[in-house]
Amino acid sequence: MRPGPSPRLVLFDLDDTLCDQATSFRRRVERAVQAALAGERHGDAEAIIQRVVAGALMRTEDLVDVLAEFGLADSWRIERAIQAYISDRFIDLCLFDEAIEVVRAVQQCALTGLVTNGPSQIQREKLRRLGIADLFPIVIISEEVGVAKPDPAIFRLALDRAGVPPSQSAFIGDNPEIDIAGAQAAGLMSIWYNRQGRPWPGGRPPDAEVRTLRELLPLLFPEEAPKRLA
């Protein structure tokens, strides 16, 4: 951990940090592939799903391209797949169990904010559906501000709104290339949320790593943690 006093500002990523976007995305892809197959058996069904999920190929065009690679290019199959894929963008989307508890505990010790990439309409709807639209006093969404992580400018916008310098701020996110590299470039303390216990992919390592959100309190506020999460 980077030495120094506890931060005055703690910024959070949204997808796969506070909410389980990965499970929701896989469920959408599974529904799309099943729709394309229309009840037929296909030996590569799981391979198709893995190809889309592993590559984070979220656009409908990406899905269509992968289906075509596996011989599922018939127009009726594509139409069924797209309809299933877009029918519920937020299927099975949920917060990680400890998310609200931890954020509220952090808020007893520091200012908090949310910095997320994505279209405004989608990210705002996620916040509403997850019940956290009013949880953060500072919400920065890339489409709304015209800049996205890992560009340090998006972090600086959050710092400016909070009136806190980067040396007194921390950011937690799950993506090494987008979240951690961006926070580092902006001068914030970087905390990698590594829920799956993956090895660090290389490059400058984060200042700290946590496997659960509950580890944030003793990490950032060691004197406050026992009573805040009691």
Structural domain boundaries in the chain: 9-20+94-228, 22-87
Q: What is the pLDDT of residue 224?
A: 72
Whole-number Å distance between alpha carbons of 155 and 183: 7
Helices and strands of the chain, counted as H and E runs? 11, 6
Percentage of the chain with pLDDT > 90? 89
Instruction: Spell out the SS3 assignment of 56-124.
Output: CCCCHHHHHHHHHHCCCCCHHHHHHHHHHHHHCCCCCCCECCCHHHHHHHHHCCCEEEEEECCCHHHHH
User: Is the C-alpha dihedral spanning 98, 104, 107, 113 positive or negative?
Assistant: positive
The answer to whether residue 106 scores a pLDDT higher than 90 is yes
* Mean pLDDT, residues 155-175: 98
Q: Rg of the chain over CA atoms, in angstroms?
A: 19
Q: What is the pLDDT of residue 57?
A: 85
Question: Which has more confidence, 1 or 97?
Answer: 97
Residue-averaged pLDDT of the chain: 94
Q: What is the pLDDT of residue 49?
A: 95
- pLDDT tens for 51-103 read 999 988 889 999 999 999 999 999 999 999 999 999 999 999 999 999 999 99
CATH number at 9-20+94-228? 3.40.50.1000
**Residue indicated by tokens 């389980």:** 20
The answer to whether residue 230 scores a pLDDT higher than 70 is no
The answer to whether residue 3 scores a pLDDT higher than 90 is no
* Mean pLDDT, residues 172-194: 98
